[in-house]
Amino acid sequence: MRLIFILTVLGIALVFYLSWVPDPHMRFVWFLPKWIAHWADIKQNEDLRTAVPFVFLGFLVGTWLSRSQHPWSWWVLSILGLTVVAAVAEAGQLLLPRRHFSWADILWGAAGSSLGLFVALVFMLINRQLKVRY
């Protein structure tokens, strides 16, 4: 559980870092593999690229929720919380001259979070079914 927490905090920090680097081109982010940076810098992927880290964040949070057996209301709150992370990341771009605020990025963050949570939920349900059978 501690590892999931650490990875989630690092993921949120990564979202803020990538959202607040002065230049929106990912090719200038030193730690990104070139193929990822190239994909992220394609014009058609500008909004979609926002969803990618949120899929992983949603999956991590969903894994934590399923392991700790939190009620369904926590799942909804998690989507809202991760959407707030996307909104804060976007709002920070208002202070950067070469970046721009985008409602679409917030929606893509929410969509990515929802997908990640859904995948974690599916894994949880499959795991429960396997435990019941054996």
Structure confidence by residue, pLDDT tens digits, 115-130: 999 999 999 999 888 8
d(CA 129, CA 64): 19
Q: Is 97 exposed, middle or buried (0-12, 13-18, 19+ CB in 10 A)?
A: exposed
Question: Tens of pLDDT along 55-84?
Answer: 999 999 999 999 999 999 999 999 999 999
- pLDDT band for position 47 (50/70/90)? confident
Q: Which two tokens stand for residue 102?
A: 């985008």
Residue with tokens 């392991």: 67
3-state secondary structure 92-108: HHHHCCCCCCCHHHHHH
How many structural domains is the chain composed of?
Answer: 1
d(CA 38, CA 133): 46
Domain that holds residue 99: 2-133
